[in-house]
Amino acid sequence: MSYNDLLHELRARGHRLTTQRRLILEVLQKNEQHMSAEEIGEQIKNRHAGIQVDMATIYRNLRWLSEHSLVTETSLGQGHMVYVLSSNHNHHHHLVCNSCQRVTEVRVDLLDELRSRIEAEYGFTARLDHIAFFGLCRTCRGNGA
Amino acid sequence: MSYNDLLHELRARGHRLTTQRRLILEVLQKNEQHMSAEEIGEQIKNRHAGIQVDMATIYRNLRWLSEHSLVTETSLGQGHMVYVLSSNHNHHHHLVCNSCQRVTEVRVDLLDELRSRIEAEYGFTARLDHIAFFGLCRTCRGNGA
DNA sequence: CTTCGTGCAAAAGCTTTGCAATGCG
DNA sequence: CGCATTGCAAAGCTTTTGCACGAAG
């Protein structure tokens, strides 16, 4: 789904096309990586010579986008949520170590089978393109953590 | 791992056996379900005629327990973390709807294969006994959410 | 014009931290 | 007795909310 499709999608769902929304979507669309709400705000400021969108606005829009499946919201255990455009197909998953907090990225297709099973058995459309698994990395397990 | 094993485990790792720690572990051990830090505090008060363990103490201990793999910490997208004793073998997973926020429990063994693959390919010991998957439930998908 | 959305400021959680007092080993 | 640990109070962060103003359709 392209940037323009996204804007069209907003209108189709009865949302107005404000400058702020355009800026938020622009940043999300240019970043293939998950970002926090604050990072989104900063990037808007950097890219547009000091324009600052209020955090309240960013949060309000992220919530709406998430509820409408246009954005994926994930917790990586850092005390804040992170967001990616659902249509950015750079699917990847994370292994987060409970001891050293280090994050490792893992293969894309690891969860393909799981997704099908959840869909088939529960009628639930899981967004598994950006999942975090917690546990212990090799190093910390060795440390007796 | 029994309650006594847990206490012994604490000592073995150089931790002192305070009343507060005993109370926290007791509550965790009697609850097979994930609990928030606040719920843990409340249950301690209820079970022990008004004894109140400070939230700071609860958080400090939960963090330590989590870092040492005795407790599993999870985000269910409710704005706070939830905790279970790793040794409470009531493994289950959750499907959390991004639109209506409803939580569905799912089969235990859904992730067994995944766990083995993560271990084999990344040397990472994932604690998959209490995972939340986000997405859209059947109803909300129908609603065009 | 009407209604939706934004900014601002304040509040609401949840969680962490500093410090003096307490109690375990 | 010495040091880990607690309680208390305060602060820190992220996220949410109320309200008046401003902008989109």
Q: What SS3 class is residue B93?
A: strand
Q: How far apart are CA B23 and CA B51, in angstroms?
A: 10
Task: Tell me the nearest-neighbour CA distance from A16 into chain B, angstroms.
Answer: 17
Tell me what percent of the residues of chain A surpass a pLDDT of 90.
43
User: CA-to-C1' distance for B109 and C8, Å?
Assistant: 50
**What is the full DSSP assignment across A15-43?**
----HHHHHHHHHHHH--S-B-HHHHHHH
Q: How far apart are CA B133 and CA A111, in angstroms?
A: 11
**B123: which chain A residues are within 8 Å (Cβ-Cβ)?**
137-138
Find the farthest-apart pair of alpha carbons in chain A and give their distance in angstroms, rounded: 55
Dihedral of CA B53/B58/B60/B62: which sign? Answer: positive
End-to-end CA distance of chain B: 44
User: Residue B67: closest CA among chain A residues belongs to which residue?
Assistant: A99
Give me the residue label for tokens 């309000």. Answer: A60
**Could you report the per-residue pLDDT of A1-55, keeping only the tens digit for each?**
788 889 998 999 999 999 999 999 999 999 888 899 999 999 999 999 888 999 9
Q: How far apart are CA B30 and CA B9, in angstroms?
A: 18
What's the predicted TM-score (pTM) here? 0.80
Q: What's chain B's length in residues? A: 145
With an 8 Å Cβ cutoff, the interface of chain B facing chain A consists of 13, 66-69, 72-75, 77, 95, 97-99, 104, 106-107, 110-111, 113-114, 117-118, 121-128, 131, 133-138, 141, 144-145
DSSP-assigned letter for residue A97: E
**B13: which chain A residues are within 8 Å (Cβ-Cβ)?**
144
The phi and psi torsions of B74 (rounded to 5 degrees) equal: -140, 150
Which helix (H) or strand (E) segment holds residue B39: the answer is: helix B37-47
Task: Tell me the nearest-neighbour CA distance from A19 into chain B, angstroms.
Answer: 23
User: CA-to-C1' distance for B18 and C25, Å?
Assistant: 11
Please tell me the predicted confidence (pLDDT) of residue A107: 79
**Residue B91 pLDDT grade (very low, low, confident, very high; cuts 50, 70, 90):** low
DSSP-assigned letter for residue A130: S
Lowest mean pLDDT of A15-19, B8-12, B45-49, B90-94, name the range. Answer: B90-94
**B145: which chain A residues are within 8 Å (Cβ-Cβ)?**
67-69
Using the beta-carbon criterion (under 8 Å), do A77 and B72 form an inter-chain contact? no
- Integer angstrom CA distances of residue A99 from A93, B54, B65, B119, B130: 19, 24, 10, 17, 17
Q: How far apart are CA B93 and CA B106, in angstroms?
A: 5
Number of Cβ within a 10 Å radius of residue B71: 24
Query: Pairing between strand B71-75 and A132-136?
Result: unpaired
Query: Pairing between strand B93-97 and B132-136?
Result: parallel
**Residue A143 pLDDT grade (very low, low, confident, very high; cuts 50, 70, 90):** low
Nucleotides of C under 7 A from a protein CB: 4-10, 13-18, 23-25
**A145: which chain B residues are within 8 Å (Cβ-Cβ)?**
67-69
Residue B101 confidence (pLDDT) above 80: no
Residue nearest to nucleotide D3 (CA to C1'): B16
